[in-house]
Each structure stands twice: as structure tokens, then as C-alpha cells.
Structure 1
Amino acid sequence: MEFIEDKVFEGIKFQEEPLAKAEYENCVFKHCDFSGANLFEFKFSDCEFIGSNFSLANISKTAFRDIKFKECKLLGLHFEHCNEFGLEFTFENCQLDHSIFYKTKIKKTNFKDSQLKEVDFTECDLTESVFENCDLNNANFDRTILEKVDLRSAYNYSIDPENNRIKKAKFSIQGISGLLNKYDIKIEN
């Protein structure tokens, strides 16, 4: 497999100009369009994606090691099919609606100012992750490990404490209703 490092890719539509199957290290992808692209078995290490669109890309067996996604559109991605070895990323100002993290181990992941509507975190290990100012409307938490997770500034979440591990997780008083939704009670100031 080809090895490409320290390169900047800008404004490329990879449906028209396919990205070479390679191992990319310390590369920057600015305003690139990966939507619907086949990234099967690609390897990305220490890369940054800025303002790029990954919607509905095939990321099966794709390696994402120490990756920064900033202002990216990542709609409907199946992160559960990624290469698990070294899987690590951060998300800032990203749209991750309808993406799936089923059974992924993504401890200490930072989600900042991101939209995670209807994201599936079933059986995901999110230990010590941070959801800073994130919209978790209809996100699915089922048998999810949320120990030491920081949800103090997250909103629109619904988490069943009896069905998820939430030991030492941090919540704000405003978000406490998201832990009580299943009881169909009204909380007022």
C-alpha cells in the first residue's frame, strides 16, 4: 500500500477524482467531498479533515487513528465497521446525524458543538468522553458505557440510567429530565 504524508488536499471531489488507496499520515483535507466514496481499508493517521463531506461514504475497515474532524458533514456513517485498532477521533462543529457507533470502543472522544441527531450508541464504550454543547436529539443509548462522560452542556438527550452504565457521569441540572424521560413525568422550575 502506498504511503502519503504531510500533504494538503483541497476542494477535491473524490467521486470524480478517486483518492488513491493508501496510508495517509499527517495530511490535511480541506473542503473535500468524500460523499458516497469507497474508503474501504484506507488508513488515516494524525490527519485533519476540515469542512469536508463524508455523508454515506463506505468506511468499512477504514483506519481512523488520531483524527480531527472539524466542520464536517458525516451523515449516516457506519463507524462500527471501521478498523478498531487505534480508532480515535475528535469532532468539532460536525453533523453526525444518523451515524452508527454500535459496539465501538471510543473512550475519551471529544464531541464539541456538534449535531448527533438519531445517532446509535448502542453498546458503545464512551468512557470519559465529552459532549460539549451537542444536540443528542433521539440519539440511542442502549447498554452504553457512559462512565465519567461529561454531558453537562449537551442537550435533547434521553438516557435510561437503568439500561446504561453512568457511574460518575456529569450532567447539568437542566439536563436531568433527559434521565427521567421513561417515567413520563413533568419537571418544572
Structure 2
Amino acid sequence: MKTDIIEKIKAHKKYVETLGEQGEKLVLDEFQFEDINFIDIDFSESYLTECSFENLKLEKLDFYRAGLYSSSFANAQINQSIYVKSNTDYTSFVGATVSDSNFFKAELPESDFSNATIKNSSFIAADLREANFSNSKLVNVDFKYTRFKETILKDSVVENPINLDEATIKSINIGTLKNPIILENEQATQWMLDNIVK
């Protein structure tokens, strides 16, 4: 199994490098990644539906424009990785540690970052509609043009946010998914500044 997936990753790299002329696009469904040295791997434009990267150390991975629908990075250690323009709807980052990573223009509706720690990373122009950041800690995160709509922020902490004043904050949820408490527009922004921004 390990040899098979490594060969598929190599074929995908060739597919990307040759713009589809050689190799084969990586398409996996409900696959559990394990026992692989996850350093500097190109998953760009792959389709990884309901796949698991749980509890893994991920270094310099590239998920540019990848489809990561309902996949899980729960409790993973993610460093210097790229999720630019990825489709990451319903994806779990529960308990993950994310550092120096880029979520520029990532589609993250209903993704789950609860209990995660995110440092020195960018969510510029990312879509965080109904994403869950409850009990999370975000440090030195760039929110320029980030879209908040019913984003769950219960018991989260945001330290030294970057460009938060340029985010689009339509609404936030300071309750839970089952028992929402929705604040909108200026009220939402003021609550964030008063309660979670440090």
C-alpha cells in the first residue's frame, strides 16, 4: 500500500510538471495517509475527498487548487504548507497546529478549526463562512479581505491580528453550532475587538 501511494504521488508530480501531458492526476476517496515522509510534496490540483492526514507531521506540502472536501487534518502538525485556492469545504483541522502556512483565497465553508493553534499564517481573501474556530488560538494571522459569515468564534483567542480592519465581517457566531448567537456587521466587529483580540 505504501509503495503504491508513493508511486501515485510521483505520477501526480509528473502530471503537474508537464501540465497533464504525462503522469496521472491524484484522485483518492476515503484514503488514510500514514507511514510516509510528508516533506515537500506537491498535491496541487489533486482530488482528495474524505482522506485522512490525522496526527501526521506535514512539512512544505502544496495543496494549490486541490479538492480536499471533507478530509481531515485533525491533530496534524502543519508547517510552511500551501492551501492557496483550495476547495476545503467541511474539512477538519480540529486540534491541529498550523504555522507559516498560506490559505489565500481558500474555500473553507463549514471547515472545523476548533481547538487548533494557528501562527504566522495567512487567510487573505479566504472564505470562512460558518467555519468553526471555537477554542482556537490564532497568532499573527493575516485577515485581509477574509470573509466572515456566521463564523464560530466561541472562546477563541486572536493575538496580534494583521489587517483585521480590512476583513469583510458580515456576521459571527459567539455561541455554538447547535445553539447559535449571531452578531452582525459593526456589532460583530466590536465584539471581536472587545472579547477575543489581544
8 Å contact from structure 1 (residues 30, 51) kept in 2: no
Equivalent position of 1:53 in the other structure: 47
Whichever residue aligns with residue 59 of structure 2, its letter is R
Equivalent position of 1:67 in the other structure: 61
Which of 24, 37, 41 aligns to 1:43? It is: 37
Whichever residue aligns with residue 100 of structure 1, its letter is S
8 Å contact from structure 1 (residues 147, 167) kept in 2: yes
Q: CA deviation at 1:41?
A: 2.6
Rounded Cα–Cα distance in structure 2 between residues aligned with 1:66 and 1:11: 14
Counterparts in 2 of 1:179 and 1:150: CA distance versus 1, 3 Å:
farther
Rounded Cα–Cα distance in structure 2 between residues aligned with 1:133 and 1:175: 9
- RMSD between superposed Cα atoms in Å: 3.2
8 Å contact from structure 1 (residues 126, 145) kept in 2: yes
Rounded Cα–Cα distance in structure 2 between residues aligned with 1:129 and 1:174: 15
Q: CA deviation at 1:61?
A: 4.6
Equivalent position of 1:32 in the other structure: 26
Which of 161, 171, 175 aligns to 2:168? It is: 175
Rounded Cα–Cα distance in structure 1 between residues aligned with 2:182 and 2:54: 38
Equivalent position of 2:92 in the other structure: 100
Report matched runs for 1:119-130 at 5 Å. 119-130=111-122
Equivalent position of 2:141 in the other structure: 149
Counterparts in 2 of 1:165 and 1:32: CA distance versus 1, 3 Å:
same
Rounded Cα–Cα distance in structure 1 between residues aligned with 2:60 and 2:131: 24
Give the % identical residues.
17
The superposition leaves residues 49-108 of structure 1 with CA deviations (integer Å, 9 ceiling, x where unpaired) of 1210111123345442211111100111120154x4x65421111011111111111122
Equivalent position of 1:16 in the other structure: none
Equivalent position of 1:24 in the other structure: none
Which of 48, 71, 76 aligns to 1:77? It is: 71
* Secondary structure of 1:142's aligned partner: coil
Compare the two structures and name the one with the higher helix fraction.
2
Rounded Cα–Cα distance in structure 1 between residues aligned with 2:144 and 2:80: 22
Counterparts in 2 of 1:73 and 1:175: CA distance versus 1, 3 Å:
same
Rounded Cα–Cα distance in structure 2 between residues aligned with 1:38 and 1:147: 30
Equivalent position of 1:164 in the other structure: 156
* Secondary structure of 2:46's aligned partner: coil
8 Å contact from structure 2 (residues 75, 95) kept in 1: no
Counterparts in 2 of 1:129 and 1:137: CA distance versus 1, 3 Å:
same
Which of 86, 89, 94 aligns to 2:81? It is: 89
Runs (5+) with no aligned partner, structure 2:
15-22, 175-180, 188-198
8 Å contact from structure 1 (residues 30, 50) kept in 2: no
* Secondary structure of 1:9's aligned partner: helix
Rounded Cα–Cα distance in structure 2 between residues aligned with 1:131 and 1:176: 13
Runs (5+) with no aligned partner, structure 1:
13-28
Rounded Cα–Cα distance in structure 2 between residues aligned with 1:186 and 1:10: 43
Equivalent position of 2:12 in the other structure: 10
**Matched positions, count:** 167
